[in-house]
Amino acid sequence: MYNTCLEHVELAMEIIIDEKETPIINQLTEDEQLSTTCAFCKNNAIYSISE
């Protein structure tokens, strides 16, 4: 699972597609967005991308 900012959604999806072929995208709640950072940078995460 990857928590990502808007800029890195495509990167996380590509990684998941290479591994499992079917990414699941969920938008984080406002509370989760405030306390979660992107897996690829230090921005707040907006989405959770998982297999």
DSSP codes, 2-46: EEE-GGGHHHHHHHHHHHTS--EEEEPPHHHHHH-B-SSSSSBP-
pLDDT digits (tens, 9 = 90+) for 1-46: 999 999 999 999 999 999 877 899 999 999 989 999 999 999 999 9
pTM given for the model: 0.83
Residue 24 is predicted with a pLDDT of 92
- Strand 2-4 and strand 47-50: pairing? antiparallel
Residue 19 is predicted with a pLDDT of 85
Residue 44 is predicted with a pLDDT of 95
Q: Per-residue pLDDT for 51 more than 90?
A: no
Residue 25 is predicted with a pLDDT of 94
